[in-house]
Amino acid sequence: MKHAPFIAVEGPIGAGKTTLASMLAEELQLPVIKEIVEENPFLDKFYQNMDDWSFQLEMFFLCNRYKQLEDTVIHYIDKGKPVISDYHIYKNLIFGERTLKGTKRDKYRQIYHVLTDDLPKPDIILYIKADLDTLLRRIAKRGRSFEEAIETAYLQQLIEDYDAAMASLAIREPSTTILTIDGNLIDFVENREHFMEIASRVKELMQ
């Protein structure tokens, strides 16, 4: 890889994206971009009633991430500096396709493409896969009260949506390297060797 890489960590809710991105940033001495969660005024309402709140929520996430990615381009990518993010804006489409219906979904798709088609794609995506039991355990461990209302069927659906989206991305974006991490077997939090294995794979990819 000749230029400074743009690295994104992806995976369904609670997979460990923020945790892994922060650990890698420290180990590899990279700046880290984290998604904004606590200031989101719609998330709580959305988990109580998805049909009523999905459009507001998806638009809020999209605008926030668009701004964050614009800043990332200005401060890092255009200056040739490597950076790691705990999400990729592509996740908006994964969620939007799942939570929106009918004309709102059509409008959202169009807005998504207008905003993002010319933005840089990550060079490396670390895709953390995990099964439903693992995700439910981690979401419970984190203990955000508004996430108690997450339905298992929704989470299971997202696991499948992520798998399909990553498979399609691998075909459409051959310049993005996707490194899949089995989040059920590889415990980068408790097992230092597991973490160092991931860190050295990323270092190799950055060469």
Ligand X SMILES: Nc1nc(=O)c2ncn([C@H]3C[C@H](O)[C@@H](CO)O3)c2[nH]1
Residue type, 192: R
The answer to whether 63 contacts ligand X (rule: CB under 6 A) is: no
Structure tokens at 176: 């993005």
The answer to whether 159 contacts ligand X (rule: CB under 6 A) is: no
Eight-class DSSP state of 3: S
The answer to whether 72 contacts ligand X (rule: CB under 6 A) is: no
The answer to whether 92 contacts ligand X (rule: CB under 6 A) is: yes
Site for ligand ATP in 14-53 (CB under 6 A): 14-19
Q: Residue with CB nearest ligand X?
A: 95
Bridge partners of residue 83, in order along the sequence? 6
The residue (of 81 and 197) whose beta carbon lies closer to ligand ATP is 197
Q: Residue with CB nearest ligand ATP?
A: 16
The answer to whether 59 contacts ligand X (rule: CB under 6 A) is: no
Q: Which of 97, 161, 187, 197 binds ligand ATP (CB under 6 A)?
A: 187
Does the annotation place 31 within a ligand binding site?
A: no
Instruction: Decide: helix, strand or coil at residue 198.
Output: helix
Bridge partners of residue 181, in order along the sequence? 128
Catalytic positions:
86
The answer to whether 195 contacts ligand X (rule: CB under 6 A) is: no
Q: How far apart are CA 149 and CA 35, in angstroms?
A: 21
Does the annotation place 142 within a ligand binding site?
A: yes
Find out whether 156 and 103 touch, Cβ atoms under 8 Å.
no
Does the annotation place 19 within a ligand binding site?
A: yes
Q: How many residues bind ligand ATP (CB under 6 A)?
A: 16
Q: Which of 149, 167, 189, 196 binds ligand ATP (CB under 6 A)?
A: 189
Helix and strand totals (H; E) in the chain: 8, 5
Bridge partners of residue 130, in order along the sequence? none
Site for ligand ATP in 57-96 (CB under 6 A): 86
Q: How far apart are CA 120 and CA 160, in angstroms?
A: 25
Find out whether 178 and 170 touch, Cβ atoms under 8 Å.
yes
Q: How far apart are CA 207 and CA 129, in angstroms?
A: 25
* Footprint on this chain of ligand X (rule: CB under 6 A): 13, 37, 43, 57-58, 61, 91-92, 95, 99, 147
* Footprint on this chain of ligand ATP (rule: CB under 6 A): 11, 13-19, 86, 138, 141-142, 187-190
Annotated binding residues, written as ranges, equal 11-19, 138-142
